Structure 1
Amino acid sequence: MKSTGGSDEAKRNAGESAAAAVEDGMVVGLGTGSTTAHAIRAIGRAVDAGLDVQGVPTSFQSRQLAREEGIPLTDLDSVSTIDLAIDGADQFAGAHLIKGGGAAHAREKVVDNAASRFLVVADPSKAGERLSHPVPVEVLPAARTTVADDVHMLGGNPTLREAAHKDGPVVTDNGNLVLDCAFGEIRSPQELADDLASIPGVVEHGLFVGMADEIHVGTDDGVEIHE
C-alpha cells in the first residue's frame, strides 16, 4: 500500500486508535492506505479474539489485507447500513480532506459517505490550515483530454498519473485513469468540489468536503483526536 510521510509508529498509533472504536456486531468500511492498514490489522486481531464484525473494503488492496487478517467481508448491496468507516487522507484541514493517493477515492467516497460515522486516520504530516494538495480526479479514459481542458479552465494544472512499476498510466480498480490536479491553496473546497463534479467524464474527485466525524492523528507518542 502507498506509504508517504510520517513514521510507521505514528501511523500505527492512529490506525489502532480508530480500530478501538469498532464494536461487536458492526459493519465497518475498510479504507485504503498505509495508515488504514494498521487499523485493518488491529481489527483482524480483535476478530481473532472473538469480535463479530463485517468489513466493506474500498479497494482490491484493502480486500486482500482484510482476507489475510481473517475479517469477514460483505458489500454495500448486502447490508442495510455501515456503522463506521475508517480511512486515511492525503491532507486534512478541519473536516475537509483530499484523498486518492491510492487511486481508490471513488469507492472510498461511496463507503465513507454511507457510514454513520467516518473516522480518518493520519499522521501530522497530513495536516494543513487549508487544503493545497493536488486533487486526484478519476476520469473515463476516453474523456482524459476534455476533462484536462476543463480543469485548466478552473485554474488547475492536471497531470496524468503514471504507474511506478509498469509502463503507462495508473488504472483504477474501476478501469479508469487518474489526473492529479494542482490548484494551489483551495480557498473554497465546496465550490471546487461542485465544479469538478459537474465536468462530463469525471467519475469522482478526491475532495471529501466536511465528511470527517473524527480525525485520529497519530504521533510517535500517542494519538490526538480532532472532532
Structure 2
Amino acid sequence: MPAELSPIDKAKFAAARRAVDFVEDGMKVGLGTGSTAAWMVRCLGEMVREEGLSIVGVPTSTRTAELARQVGIKVVTLEEAKWLDLTIDGADEFDPELNLIKGGGGALLQEKIVATASDQMIVITDAAKEVAQLGAFPLPVEVVPFGWQTTRGLIEEMLSSMDVMGRQTALRLNGTQPFLTDEGNYIVDCHLKRIGNPRQLSLVLNQIPGVVENGLFIDICDKVIIGGADGTVELRDINDGSVSHDRIDFAEESNIFSDLD
C-alpha cells in the first residue's frame, strides 16, 4: 500500500472491500458516486479482471461511469437493467436507523433513483459519518434553474415551520457559476444543523414547486459498512438488527493500489 494513503482513505477502502463480498456473478449492481464509492468500483474492477466476475453496473453519475469503464466493468443504463440486485454507495451522514444525507457530490437524484430500483442498498462509510441525529452536514436540495430564487425562498419559508436548528440556505457554486448536476439542475444546500423529523422534511420539501429531489434517504439503506484505518470493518443490518465485525488485510490488496504508485 502506498505510504501516502491517508488513514481516511484506508478506512474508506476497508469498507468498500468488505462491501464487494456481497456482489455475486451475474448481478446487476448500482454503482455509487463519491470518494468511498470510487474505491468500491476499483475493487469490483479488480474482481472482473482477476477473478472473471461477470456483472453489469449502473452508474449514478458520469464520473462513476467513466471510472467503471476504465477498470473493466460493463456499464448499462437503468432502462436497460430495469431492476438491480444491489446498490453500493457512500453517504455524507447516517443515523442509528440508517437514514442518510447524500448529495455532497451532487449526484443525489440519480443515486436515489438507482438505490430505490434495487433489492437492497449497502452504504460504505467511515465512523466520522455516523451521527445521533441528521443535519450537521448541509442537506442538498436539487432544484430546476428556472425560478430557482423563488424556489429557494419557498424552501426557507417552509423551514420556519420545521423542526430544524438552522435555516440558512446557499446556492452551490462551481467557481463563480452555479454548480450543475448531470441533469443540468442547481443545488441549494440547506444548513440545518439538526433535523428533528427527517421523514416529514423530505416529504414537504418535495412538494415545493421547482424542487426535483432532496438528499434525505429514508428507509432505503439496508446495511451500512463502517471501515477503520486499521482495516477493521463493522457491518450493521437494519433488517435483522445484527452487527458483525471483520478485518481487511491491506497486505493482500496491493493490486488495488497499483494505479496510485
Give TM-score, length-normalised by structure 1.
0.94
**Is residue 201 of structure 1 aligned with residue 210 of structure 2?**
yes
Tell me which residue corresponds to 1:112. Answer: 115
**Is residue 225 of structure 1 aligned with residue 235 of structure 2?**
yes
Query: RMSD across aligned C-alpha pairs, in angstroms?
Result: 1.2
* Residue 213 of structure 1, CA deviation: 0.3
Which whole-Å CA distance do the structure 1 matches of 2:7 and 2:60 have between them?
A: 23
Q: 2:75 pairs with 73, 76, 91, which one?
A: 73
**Is residue 62 of structure 1 aligned with residue 64 of structure 2?**
yes
The CA deviation string for residues 148-174 of structure 1, in whole angstroms up to 9 with x for no partner, is: 1112112332100111xx431211110
Amino acid in the other structure paired with 1:169 = P
Which whole-Å CA distance do the structure 2 matches of 1:131 and 1:42 have between them?
A: 29
The CA deviation string for residues 47-67 of structure 1, in whole angstroms up to 9 with x for no partner, is: 112001000000011001001
Tell me which residue corresponds to 2:259. Answer: none
SS of the counterpart of 1:43? helix
* Residue 134 of structure 1, CA deviation: 1.4
Tell me which residue corresponds to 1:136. Answer: 140
Count of matched residue pairs: 221
Tell me which residue corresponds to 2:244. Answer: none
The CA deviation string for residues 81-132 of structure 1, in whole angstroms up to 9 with x for no partner, is: 2000001101000210000000000000000011101000111111100001
Tell me which residue corresponds to 1:12. Answer: 13
Q: 1:196 to 1:6 in 2, by over 3 A?
A: farther
* Residue 205 of structure 1, CA deviation: 0.5
Which whole-Å CA distance do the structure 1 matches of 2:43 and 2:117 have between them?
A: 22
SS of the counterpart of 1:102? coil
Gaps of 5+ in 2: 1-5, 161-166, 238-261
* Residue 6 of structure 1, CA deviation: 6.6
**Is residue 102 of structure 1 aligned with residue 111 of structure 2?**
no
Which whole-Å CA distance do the structure 1 matches of 2:83 and 2:188 have between them?
A: 31
CA contact (8 A) 1:32 1:62 kept: yes
Tell me which residue corresponds to 2:170. Answer: 159
**Is residue 192 of structure 1 aligned with residue 192 of structure 2?**
no
* Residue 77 of structure 1, CA deviation: 1.0
SS of the counterpart of 1:187? coil
**Is residue 36 of structure 1 aligned with residue 47 of structure 2?**
no
Tell me which residue corresponds to 1:173. Answer: 182
CA contact (8 A) 1:18 1:39 kept: yes
CA contact (8 A) 1:6 1:123 kept: no
CA contact (8 A) 2:16 2:124 kept: yes
* Residue 80 of structure 1, CA deviation: 3.5
* Residue 145 of structure 1, CA deviation: 0.8
Which whole-Å CA distance do the structure 1 matches of 2:134 and 2:14 have between them?
A: 24
SS of the counterpart of 2:120? strand
Q: 1:193 to 1:6 in 2, by over 3 A?
A: farther
SS of the counterpart of 2:119? strand
CA contact (8 A) 1:6 1:125 kept: no
Structure 1 runs, 4 residues or longer, greater than 3 Å off: none
Gaps of 5+ in 1: none
SS of the counterpart of 2:187? strand
* Residue 76 of structure 1, CA deviation: 1.3
